[in-house]
Structure 1
Amino acid sequence: MSSPHDLELDAETTALLQRYGFDGETFASLRARLDRGEAGDDANRIEGAVRPPEDGDVRPLPELGSADRERLTEKGRAAMAAGKVGIVVLAGGMATRFGGVVKASVDAVDGQSFLALKLQDARRLAETLDATIPMFAMTSFATHDEVERLGAEMSTARAPVTTFAQFISLRLTSDGALFTDEDGAVSPYAPGHGDLPDALRRSGALKAFRESGGELLYMSNVDNLGATLDPAIIGAHLEANEASGAKITAEVVAKEPGDKGGAPARVDGDLQIVEAFRFPDDFDQDTIGVFNTNSFVLDAEALDRDFPLTWFAVRKKVDGREAVQFEHLVGQLTAFLPSAFVKVARSGADGRFQPVKDPAELEARRPEIRALLKARGVL
């Protein structure tokens, strides 16, 4: 296998790449793709016949207080009480718009950080149900040490915290050379949340979770505090599994102007998430009225295997210049595993989509986030 040493990098960079699992063979293969001109927008397009979801493909989460909602809640609570449920929090991002700190550590509401509120959500259910609900925080090279420190401070017997790092790669120029800054240093990056299955397995965390009786993982972004661990969401997944063998349940919300990301669609008849940039040019994305929130219930056993996720070429401005980085995305797991889709409220008392990208958005959303966290017993 290729190693960082083959790139003739300085000792500090080589050590960083080795620590975070740099895959030299994959890097060389992707670099060759770029050299051959096979990393443009057309290469990212999905192959196959694409159609909007059919009636019944996306099911609404029953309203709060309804008999159907209570039924799902009881199913989910039973699974949690039996120690079958854990949470995964994606905590690899740096909050560049908050001053370049680790986003998980940012004060979100009432002096508590994003990460602390995610953990408190799991802890309050674990204590109520006399159960253990572990948190698995996926970090990056930029956030690992800080998130690991925070996790160790907040970990409890009821809600233990395990941190594991995703992998690392290096940015390229459009002609395939290593992208370097004005000082000549290479530019590392974390190659997308598609690292999740492999990173969780390689760390040993997935094996330990399964051996302890764990069966389901609820995954969400650290900066979406609306995505709390709702037993009804777990119950909805369990019912979808019973009805159709679903191994993933994805939360979607009504699409609004400006939303960028994936949506459920049928590709050659198979229901899956298709990222916005992958749809054919002639496909009208407005025919799909929902949007992927990147919150999923994942079957731990089904996750414990290799997945040939697609590497997408992404062009970004770094220090005012174009850089190319290859990323893979966790939503593509729906192309390989039977999947269900549940439509949840975007905002309001039952709202589950409150992403925060910058201080202004946090300030605007904070009153609603505070209200829903209080209503759910997190605050």
Structure 2
Amino acid sequence: MAAAPAVAPPAAETDRIPKLQAEVTKLNQISDNEKEGFVRLVSRYLSGEEEKIEWEKIKTPTDEIVVPYDTLAALGEDPSETKELLDKLVVLKLNGGLGTTMGCTGPKSVIEVRNGLTFLDLIVKQIESLNNKYDSKVPLVLMNSFNTHDDTIKIVEKYSGSNIDIHIFNQSQYPRMVAEDLTPWPTKGRTDKEAWYPPGHGDVFPALLNSGKLDELLSQGKEYVFIANSDNLGAIVDLKILNHLVKNKNEYCMEVTPKTLADVKGGTLISYEGRVQLLEIAQVPEEHVGEFKSIEKFKIFNTNNLWVNLKAIKRLVEADALKMEIIPNPKEVDGVKVLQLETAAGAAIRFFDRAIGVNVPRSRFLPVKATSDLLLVQSDLYTVEEGFVIRNPARVNPTNPTIELGPEFKKVGNFLKRFKSIPSIIDLDSLKVSGDVWFGSGVILKGKVIIEAKQGATLEVPDESVIENKVVSSPDDIVN
């Protein structure tokens, strides 16, 4: 999610705040905390108080600020030390997203990833294996949105016998505003779910406190929370990172990883006026966008794997000090232009003491945003052990193949139907598939492969086919 500085509206707009407060008071569907949080966010947006980035002040962070992963100290052999470390930790997964992009209903975290296991199954297995191995008590906390909450409550019942405490809380629910006059849509008679929105994952900090979960976790002696997207299969507990933060008293750590050409729009860490800060593409002056996208100057990007000190979250939220950049997100719903204001958790880095980045291996960033990503993780590039998705060492190239699938493969159901089995892609560099293509079982793809069915025609790739560095548009192009 890209952060954007709010456009400063005319000064007269700030006169809207008392009226907005009166309108928000009528919204009985949300709590007083949510009402106050919403009014504060809109007030900041209308005040135009966002700081502009001065390009010439941007400096490349040193290795003290963005620590190379391979310089982190290894842990000792004593399992009791590891247990002590793990007992300070909470794992929080951002679980507010729906699987609609991939043609699924309900929370995205219940899409099957591999061997019949969902994202949530894998996450639970990972944490449970740590708890079993070290006799630790790492809890799993799921931050839901009002879109995913009811379904998630039912889903987690199946883990009731697991060696893991699962906590659930809802992030804030804010009213969408009608764009023409910034009136909350529910006060104009729109009463269904479409009238509301979850205000981005930057809301994790106030929502954790308002839900009572933050105080509950602190009372259990927990010190750090590891926050990650539920669809990032690479976001597993890393004891070296946790150990480093505890030893150095870092309140906040963002995992970054080297940028490839596929990641040029991702936010990056910079040193700015003596502090570490996240720079998003939407904050970049137009004349510098090309420079921002260059992988020469800005070499790293934010994975959205974050490690944060719980006491620091409490201190900053209670002081209302987390004024993250506001992301205006205009939408059109049923013909009505609406505006929702959001924040991103990565932007909070500049408010924490001794905040750092850690430049981690690419293996810690394995998001599944589309069926092309699902193809990667279901293939022989990966295996699953105790819930951990492990890369096949037989793959020589450190980067994954680029995969582009046509709209026929967009929905998970259609994707699965079109493969008798997922092809072997250990030696694949790139794959582009378009049109009505169906794959047999035991197919092997190598090098650069393009498979395109002619318009109106069906193209079936036979069982056991080996396709290497070819453009295939008919069965005759496949010679085994």
TM over 0.5: yes
Match of 1:218 in 2: 226
- Cα distance change on mapping 1:365 and 1:15 into 2, 3 Å: farther
Letter in 1 for 2:305: S
The reply on whether 1:289 has 2:294 as its aligned counterpart is no
After TM superposition, give the deviation of residue 256 of structure 1 in Å: 1.8
After TM superposition, give the deviation of residue 370 of structure 1 in Å: 4.1
**Paired residue secondary structure (1:326):** strand
Measured against aligned partners, the alpha-carbon deviations of 1:148-184 in whole angstroms (never above 9, x if no partner) come to 2223431456310000111011222432344869x95
Match of 1:234 in 2: 242
Match of 1:343 in 2: 359
Residues 169 and 208 of structure 2 are in contact (CA less than 8 Å); yes or no, is this contact kept in structure 1? yes
Flag structure 2 segments of 5+ consecutive residues without an equivalent: 1-17, 391-480
CA distance in 1, matches of 2:208, 2:179: 31
**Paired residue secondary structure (2:93):** strand
The reply on whether 1:365 has 2:377 as its aligned counterpart is yes
Letter in 1 for 2:217: F
After TM superposition, give the deviation of residue 32 of structure 1 in Å: 6.0
Match of 2:213 in 1: 205
Letter in 2 for 1:119: V
CA distance in 1, matches of 2:80, 2:378: 28
Residues 273 and 331 of structure 1 are in contact (CA less than 8 Å); yes or no, is this contact kept in structure 2? yes
Match of 2:117 in 1: 112
Which one of the candidate residues 287, 301, 304 is aligned to 2:311?
301
After TM superposition, give the deviation of residue 201 of structure 1 in Å: 1.4
The reply on whether 1:279 has 2:284 as its aligned counterpart is yes
Match of 2:23 in 1: 6
Measured against aligned partners, the alpha-carbon deviations of 1:107-158 in whole angstroms (never above 9, x if no partner) come to 1221111112112111100100011110111111101112222234314563
CA distance in 1, matches of 2:160, 2:251: 28
- Cα distance change on mapping 1:368 and 1:159 into 2, 3 Å: farther
After TM superposition, give the deviation of residue 25 of structure 1 in Å: 4.2
**Paired residue secondary structure (1:71):** coil
Q: Following superposition of structure 1 onto structure 2, how do residues 35-114 of structure 1 map, counting pairs within 5 Å? A: 38=48, 43=50, 45-46=52-53, 49-62=57-70, 71-72=74-75, 78-81=81-84, 83-98=87-102, 99-114=104-119
Measured against aligned partners, the alpha-carbon deviations of 1:212-269 in whole angstroms (never above 9, x if no partner) come to 1211211111000111112222223334x2xxx4211211111122423321101112
After TM superposition, give the deviation of residue 56 of structure 1 in Å: 4.1
**Paired residue secondary structure (2:323):** coil
Letter in 1 for 2:351: F
CA distance in 2, matches of 1:309, 1:44: 11
Match of 2:198 in 1: 190
**RMSD, aligned α-carbons:** 3.4
TM-score by length of 2: 0.65
Match of 2:385 in 1: 374
CA distance in 1, matches of 2:20, 2:179: 22
Question: Aligned residue pairs: how many?
Answer: 355
CA distance in 2, matches of 1:73, 1:277: 43
Match of 1:329 in 2: 344
CA distance in 1, matches of 2:115, 2:209: 35
Residues 75 and 234 of structure 1 are in contact (CA less than 8 Å); yes or no, is this contact kept in structure 2? no
Higher mean alpha-carbon deviation, 86-95 vs 156-165, is at 156-165
The reply on whether 1:310 has 2:327 as its aligned counterpart is no
CA distance in 2, matches of 1:261, 1:124: 32
Q: Following superposition of structure 1 onto structure 2, how do residues 2-41 of structure 1 map, counting pairs within 5 Å? A: 6=23, 14=27, 16-18=29-31, 23-28=34-39, 30-31=41-42, 38=48
Residues 248 and 339 of structure 1 are in contact (CA less than 8 Å); yes or no, is this contact kept in structure 2? yes
Letter in 2 for 1:308: L
Match of 2:424 in 1: none
Letter in 2 for 1:94: L
The reply on whether 1:168 has 2:173 as its aligned counterpart is yes
Match of 2:257 in 1: 253
